[in-house]
C-alpha cells in the first residue's frame, strides 16, 4: 500500500487514540475493524480527494458538503457511479475516524442529492469479466502441460472454478485446509471478503465424472508432484531453476494464469480475469437450474442480489420469449 496521507485517520482513529481508558492492546485491535483491502482502497480514495482539494484550494479535513459535491462532479466526467460512491464513503469514514461523526459533511443532504443525480445520469450497471463456464473449462483442460507449471496451473484453475473462489481466497488456501474423503474434498476458508468476523466456512468439492476437469484429482496430483505437506497450496517458481518458492502466489498471478489458458483455448483473453472462475461457476450452476441458496452455499455470498444477477445471466436464453416462439 502506498504511504497514506498524514490525515488518513482510519489507520489512527482520533477518538480511540485519545481514549485514556483503553489499553494499548485494545487500541491495536480496534485499529483492525476494517479489512486490509478495504483500508487500502479507502487510503487511495482519500489521497485522491486530498490532492484534488490542494489543487483547488479547498480544505480536506474537515471539508464541506459543497467541496465534496464539486469533487464528485469532476469525478463524474470519467468514473463510474459505483466508484464515485466509494470515494464518498472513504471521505465519510475518514471524517468519522477523525472525530467529525456528528458533523460529517459526506452525510449532508446536498451530497446525497448530488450522488442521486450522478447515478441517474450514469447508471450503476457494472460490466463484469467474462465467465469461464463449465464448457469453457473443458476447452482449457486440453492445454495443461505435464510439467510442474502445468500441473500447478491445472489444480489452481479447476479448484478456483469448483470452489467459486475469489482470487484473494484462492492464493491463501493452505494444505492444512484440505481434507480428502471417498466423496471428494473439503476446503476450509478461514476468512473471506464476506466474512469480516473470521468465522470461516467449509465447502465441499466432489470428484468429477470427467477426470480431465476434476479439481480433486488435480489438487491431489499437485500435492504429490510438489511434495507439499504444509503451508500455502499455490506458490510461484524461482526464475532460475524453477524451484518452488516458500510463499503464496499473488492474486494478480491468478488473473495472468487465467488469461494464459483462455488464450490457449482460442478465446480473447482481454475479457477474462481471476474473477471469471467464480462468476463462471455461478453462471454455469444457474444454467442448470441450481437454486440461489445452493449456489450461495458454494460462493459464500451473504446476499442473494448478486447471485440472482448470475441466475438471470444463466437463464437469458432459457427464459426467453423468442425461444418459446420458436418452439424450442
Coil vs helix vs strand at 188: strand
pLDDT of residue 269: 86
Quote the mean pLDDT of the chain.
Answer: 83
pLDDT of residue 322: 65
pLDDT of residue 79: 85
Q: Kindly list the catalytic residues.
A: 166, 193, 275, 278, 301, 310
pLDDT of residue 314: 61
Query: Per residue in 202-254, pLDDT tens?
Result: 999 999 988 989 999 999 999 999 999 999 999 999 887 678 898 999 888 99
pLDDT of residue 43: 87
The rounded distance, in Å, linking the Cα atoms of 264 and 2 is: 35
pLDDT of residue 297: 85
pLDDT of residue 139: 86
pLDDT of residue 128: 62
The rounded distance, in Å, linking the Cα atoms of 48 and 43 is: 9
Domains of the chain: 9-122 (1.10.150.130), 134-314 (1.10.443.10)
Coil vs helix vs strand at 44: helix
Tell me how many degrees the CA angle 251-36-173 measures, rounded to the nearest 5: 40
- Kind and range of the H or E run holding 254: helix 251-264
Edge to edge, the sheet with strand 184-189 lists 178-181, 184-189, 201-206
The rounded distance, in Å, linking the Cα atoms of 1 and 192 is: 19
pTM above 0.75, yes or no: no
The rounded distance, in Å, linking the Cα atoms of 17 and 275 is: 38
**Do strands 184-189 and 201-206 pair parallel, antiparallel, or not at all (unpaired)?**
antiparallel
Residues of the chain with pLDDT under 50: 1
Amino acid at each position: 500500500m502506498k504511504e497514506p496521507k498524514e490525515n488518513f485517520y482510519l489507520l489512527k482513529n482520533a477518538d480511540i487514540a485519545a481514549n485514556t481508558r483503553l489499553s494499548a492492546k485494545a487500541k491495536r485491535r480496534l485499529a483492525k475493524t476494517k479489512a486490509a483491502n478495504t483500508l487500502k482502497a479507502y487510503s487511495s480514495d482519500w489521497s485522491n480527494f486530498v490532492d484534488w482539494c490542494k489543487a483547488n484550494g479547498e480544505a480536506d479535513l474537515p471539508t464541506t458538503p459543497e467541496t465534496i459535491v464539486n469533487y464528485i462532479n469532476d469525478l463524474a466526467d470519467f468514473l463510474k457511479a459505483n466508484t464515485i460512491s466509494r470515494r464518498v464513503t472513504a471521505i465519510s469514514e475518514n471524517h468519522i475516524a477523525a472525530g467529525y461523526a456528528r458533523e460529517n459533511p459526506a452525510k449532508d443532504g446536498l451530497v446525497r442529492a448530488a450522488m442521486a443525480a450522478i447515478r441517474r445520469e450514469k447508471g450503476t450497471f457494472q460490466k463484469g469479466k467474462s465467465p469461464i463456464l463449465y464448457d469453457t473449462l473443458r476447452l482449457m483442460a486440453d492445454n495443461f502441460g505435464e510439467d510442474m507449471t502445468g500441473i500447478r496451473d491445472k489444480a489452481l484453475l479447476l479448484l478456483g472454478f469448483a470452489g467459486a473462489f475469489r482470487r484473494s481466497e484462492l492464493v491463501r488456501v493452505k494444505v492444512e485446509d484440505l481434507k480428502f474423503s471417498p466423496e471428494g474434498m473439503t476446503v476450509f476458508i478461514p476468512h473471506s471478503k464476506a466474512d469480516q468476523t473470521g468465522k470461516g466456512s467449509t465447502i465441499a468439492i466432489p470428484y468429477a465424472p470427467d477426470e480431465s476437469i476434476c479439481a480433486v484429482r488435480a489438487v491431489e496430483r499437485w500435492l504429490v508432484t510438489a511434495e507439499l505437506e504444509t503451508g500455502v497450496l499455490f506458490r510461484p517458481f524461482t526464475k532460475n531453476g524453477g524451484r518452488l518458492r516458500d510463499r503464496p502466489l499473488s492474486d494478480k498471478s491468478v488473473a495472468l494464469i487465467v488469461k494464459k489458458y483462455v488464450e490457449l483455448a482460442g478465446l480473447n483473453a482481454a475479457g477474462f480475469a481471476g474473477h471469471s472462475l467464480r462468476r463462471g461457476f455461478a453462471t454455469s450452476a444457474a444454467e442448470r437450474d441450481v437454486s440461489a441458496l445452493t449456489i450461495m452455499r458454494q460462493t459464500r455470498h451473504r446476499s442473494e442480489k448478486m447471485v440472482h444477477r448470475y441466475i438471470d445471466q444463466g437463464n437469458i436464453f432459457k427464459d426467453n420469449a423468442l425461444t418459446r416462439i420458436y418452439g424450442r
